């Protein structure tokens, strides 16, 4: 004991304390590095490449959310013979695909529709799209309200109604400015409004003025309304179709491989641009898109009202009757499609649509008749172009 005097003890305990502090500091720095700096760095690297993901709470990351989804999924019964196990075993994968693939698709289809409609002014077009989405969200909020169906409810000056009116005005103002600046640009030079959608509409309006001697039906308000229709009808629809297609190809990898083989055969490998002649050569992509549109009908119902008395077979449909077509239910009707109606089976379309079902009009994702979707060809070519790039 005489070797360890007070001084020695004090030096020893100071050293031990220093070691302890250093050890705690080391552990702390390690934890900060592992749980804060590294995840942030990894996220930044992925975000820079355009890959987004859910935000992760400190220390525990996404595990609690993964466990919660897993538990909720396992509590549900599975039907005998239902082999679609991805949603059951990997519910977080499905949730993330919907959230982030959906975001990506929304972005890319917004770019495409804005470019198609407004060509060089497409940045302003994207701003209009954002305003339109805000308007749709606000209107949906109002539709969910208890008294929304009461006539006149929408003009009561309540905060939500005022917000909707202001957003509507903002959309019309932005569109009006784009249209006016295009008109000013080519003043006096008819037929030179450009070869984007706005250009075609302006040329049509000018022709009308020339033919009708100054009477304009296709005036500023019509132009604004048509731009709104095209934006709303043409954006979310295609992005939803692409999101579902990606989901289905991610969980049915044999079809993903078949699609990729076809894409490589028709267009070649990465960086080979697609050209218009290639669209009609995609048999497998056609089958996959038809099956996706059948299973996940983007416009699930359709409403019509008769403008005159109609006799349909033995049925008399009086003028003014509201009709409701449950497109989704028709696409899921086993009497039309067979018992495998709820399964993803693109092969049912191998010999064309007519042979896939018992009724030639059973598949109608874009509707039929005089008001069928004018953007059908555009939407399908757009979807194929994007899928080609991803599959390549």
Least distance in Å: CB of 37 to ligand HEM? 43
The DSSP result for 143-182, as a single string, is HTSTTTTSTTGGGS--HHHHHHHHHHHHHHHHHHHHHHHH
- Between residues 36 and 374, which has the closer beta carbon with respect to ligand HEM? 374
Given candidates 73, 111, 378, 389, which one binds ligand HEM under the rule CB under 6 A?
378
Among the listed ranges 298-306, 313-321, 338-346, 348-356, the one in contact with ligand HEM (CB under 6 A) is: 298-306
- Between residues 196 and 262, which has the closer beta carbon with respect to ligand HEM? 196
Token representation of residue 208:
């009308």
By CB under 6 A, is residue 229 in contact with ligand HEM?
yes
Given candidates 91, 102, 234, 346, which one binds ligand HEM under the rule CB under 6 A?
234
Give the angle 17-25-9 at the CA atoms, nearest 5°: 5
By CB under 6 A, is residue 290 in contact with ligand HEM?
no
* Element of type H or E holding 310: strand 310-312
By CB under 6 A, is residue 129 in contact with ligand HEM?
no
| Cα diameter, the chain | 119
| Residue facing ligand HEM at closest CB distance | 375
Per CB under 6 A, contacts with ligand HEM among 351-370 are: 365-367
Which DSSP letter does residue 187 get?
Answer: T
Among the listed ranges 136-144, 150-158, 263-271, 373-381, the one in contact with ligand HEM (CB under 6 A) is: 373-381
By CB under 6 A, is residue 323 in contact with ligand HEM?
no
- Between residues 179 and 373, which has the closer beta carbon with respect to ligand HEM? 373
- Mention every residue, 6+ apart, whose C-beta is less than 8 A from residue 53: 43, 46, 96, 100
* Contact in structure between 93 and 86 (CB atoms under 8 Å): yes
Length of the chain: 392
Among the listed ranges 98-106, 215-223, 306-314, 375-383, the one in contact with ligand HEM (CB under 6 A) is: 375-383
- Between residues 153 and 325, which has the closer beta carbon with respect to ligand HEM? 325
* Contact in structure between 235 and 113 (CB atoms under 8 Å): yes
What 333-338 contacts at long range (C-beta under 8 Å, 24+ apart), as own/partner pairs, is: 333/362, 336/362, 337/294, 337/362
Least distance in Å: CB of 381 to ligand HEM? 9
Angstrom CA distances, 130 to 171, 227, 290, stand at: 9, 14, 29
Given candidates 138, 174, 375, 388, which one binds ligand HEM under the rule CB under 6 A?
375
By CB under 6 A, is residue 328 in contact with ligand HEM?
no
By CB under 6 A, is residue 96 in contact with ligand HEM?
no
Among the listed ranges 150-158, 162-170, 251-259, 297-305, the one in contact with ligand HEM (CB under 6 A) is: 297-305
Buried b (16+ CB within 10 A) or exposed e, 261-273: ebbeebbeeeeee
Token representation of residue 182:
């295009």
Which DSSP letter does residue 208 get?
Answer: H
Given candidates 190, 256, 302, 392, which one binds ligand HEM under the rule CB under 6 A?
302
- Between residues 165 and 299, which has the closer beta carbon with respect to ligand HEM? 299
Q: Give me the residues that bind ligand HEM (CB under 6 A), please.
A: 229-230, 233-234, 237-238, 241, 298-299, 302, 365-367, 371, 373-375, 378-379
């Amino acid at each position: 004991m005489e070797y360890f005097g007070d001084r020695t003890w004090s030096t020893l305990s100071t050293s031990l304390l220093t070691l302890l502090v250093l050890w705690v500091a080391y552990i702390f720095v390690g934890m900060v590095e592992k749980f804060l700096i590294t995840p942030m760095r990894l996220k930044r690297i992925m975000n820079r490449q355009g890959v987004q993901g859910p935000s992760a709470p400190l220390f525990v990351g996404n595990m609690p959310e993964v466990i919660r989804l897993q538990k909720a999924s396992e509590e549900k019964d599975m039907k005998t013979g239902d082999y679609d196990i991805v949603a059951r075993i990997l519910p977080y994968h499905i949730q993330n695909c919907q959230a982030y693939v959906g975001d990506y698709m929304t972005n890319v289809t917004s770019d495409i529709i804005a470019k198609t409609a407004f060509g060089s002014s497409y940045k302003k077009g994207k701003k209009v799209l954002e305003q339109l989405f805000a308007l749709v969200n606000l209107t949906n909020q109002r539709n969910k309200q208890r008294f929304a169906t009461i006539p006149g409810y929408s003009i009561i000056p309540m905060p939500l109604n005022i917000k909707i009116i202001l957003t509507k005005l903002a959309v019309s103002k932005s569109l009006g400015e784009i249209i006016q600046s295009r008109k000013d640009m080519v003043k006096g030079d008819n037929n030179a409004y450009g070869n984007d959608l706005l250009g075609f509409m302006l040329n049509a309006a000018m022709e009308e003025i020339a033919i009708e001697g100054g009477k304009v039906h296709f005036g500023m308000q019509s132009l604004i309304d048509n731009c709104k229709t095209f934006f709303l009808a043409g954006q979310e629809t295609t992005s939803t179709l692409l999101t579902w297609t990606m989901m289905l190809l991610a969980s049915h990898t044999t079809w993903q491989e078949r699609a990729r083989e076809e894409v490589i055969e028709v267009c070649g490998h990465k960086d080979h641009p697609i050209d218009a002649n290639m669209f009609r050569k995609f048999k497998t992509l056609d089958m996959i898109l038809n099956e996706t549109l059948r299973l996940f009908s983007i416009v699930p119902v359709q409403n019509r009202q008769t403008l005159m008395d109609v006799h349909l077979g033995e049925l008399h449909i009086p003028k003014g009757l509201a009709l409701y077509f449950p497109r989704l239910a028709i696409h899921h009707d086993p009497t039309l499609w067979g018992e495998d109606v709820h399964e993803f089976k693109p092969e049912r379309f191998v010999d064309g649509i007519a042979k896939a079902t018992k009724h030639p009009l059973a598949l109608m994702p874009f509707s039929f008749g005089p008001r069928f979707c004018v953007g059908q060809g555009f939407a399908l070519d757009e979807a194929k172009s994007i899928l080609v790039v991803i599959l390549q």
